[in-house]
């Protein structure tokens, strides 16, 4: 009989496949689990089936037109995720799925769930930046970053650091106008901490 540890390891392996752009391997892993474990509890079997449905959707939505036309029911399947208590891997994978489907608002909505833990939020700042860059032009980006920072972070220094990280990622990926726009906006804040000032200087140089 398949135990909880084995299920957790298989789920982690499947998430690793998906995070590396190998959804077929993740699907095959889950399908093998179902076929070789006939005595799985019905709730676990149902969860695995939902994961397979989500992965099938990822595989089948390579074309932009298909991705934009997915149904509300399919969106619900993606958002359902894995069981009731989703951890970092589950939330990040769901966010990445939405990103791959060009549903950037939905991706940000998932990643925002990680604001409950500052360290986890830092790990996905790059993913959030990628979504924001695709949603907003340089002129609109600072206000969008401001709104998101105020929603996610109550600490002012952490919020400024988040804004700087968005600019750093934009510059790293070659979106110089996006980065410059956010940086100019950050400079308007009074009493910038020395650490933030150093980061701004490094980006501007």
| Reported confidence tier of residue 63, pLDDT bands at 50, 70, 90 | very low
Which of the two residues, 141 and 81, has the higher pLDDT score? 141
∠ Cα 99 102 105 (to 5°): 70
Which of 122, 175, 173, 168 lies closest to 149 in space, CA to CA?
122
pLDDT at 128: 93
| Reported confidence tier of residue 17, pLDDT bands at 50, 70, 90 | confident
For 65, the token pair is 């037109």
| Non-local CB neighbours of 99 within 8 Å, separated by 6+ positions | 107, 127, 130, 131
For 38, the token pair is 């006939």
Cβ atoms 200, 164 nearer than 8 A? yes
Tell me which of 54-58, 110-114, 146-150 is least confident: 54-58
pLDDT at 85: 57
112 backbone dihedrals φ, ψ, rounded to 5°: -60, -25
* Domain boundary assignment for the chain: 1-112, 117-205
Question: Which pairs count as long-range contacts for 108-111, CB under 8 Å and 24+ apart, including other chains?
Answer: 108/132, 108/148, 110/79
| Reported confidence tier of residue 77, pLDDT bands at 50, 70, 90 | low
Question: Which pairs count as long-range contacts for 138-142, CB under 8 Å and 24+ apart, including other chains?
Answer: 138/175, 138/177, 138/178, 138/180, 138/181, 139/181, 141/166, 141/170, 141/178, 141/181, 141/182, 142/181, 142/182, 142/184, 142/185
Cβ atoms 161, 194 nearer than 8 A? no
Which of the two residues, 24 and 72, has the higher pLDDT score? 24
The dihedral over CA atoms of 70, 74, 75, 81, expressed in degrees to the nearest 10, equals -150
């Amino acid at each position: 009989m398949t135990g909880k540890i084995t299920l957790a390891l298989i789920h982690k392996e499947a998430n690793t496949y998906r995070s590396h752009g190998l959804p077929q391997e993740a699907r095959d892993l889950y399908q093998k689990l179902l076929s070789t474990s006939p005595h799985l509890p019905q709730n676990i079997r149902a969860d695995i089936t939902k994961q397979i449905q989500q992965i099938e959707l990822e595989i089948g939505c390579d074309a932009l037109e298909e991705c934009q036309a997915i149904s509300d029911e399919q969106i619900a399947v993606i958002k359902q995720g894995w069981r009731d208590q989703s951890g970092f891997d589950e939330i990040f994978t769901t966010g990445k799925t939405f990103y791959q489907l060009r549903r950037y608002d939905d991706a940000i909505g998932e990643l925002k769930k990680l604001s409950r833990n500052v360290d986890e939020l830092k790990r996905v700042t790059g993913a959030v930046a990628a979504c924001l860059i695709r949603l907003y032009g340089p002129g609109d980006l600072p206000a969008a970053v401001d709104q998101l920072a105020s929603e996610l972070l109550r600490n002012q220094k952490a919020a400024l650091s988040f804004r700087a990280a968005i600019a750093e990622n934009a510059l790293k990926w070659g979106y110089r106008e996006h980065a410059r726009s956010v940086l100019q906006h950050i400079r308007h804040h009074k009493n910038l901490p020395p650490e933030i000032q150093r980061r701004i200087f490094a980006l501007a140089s």
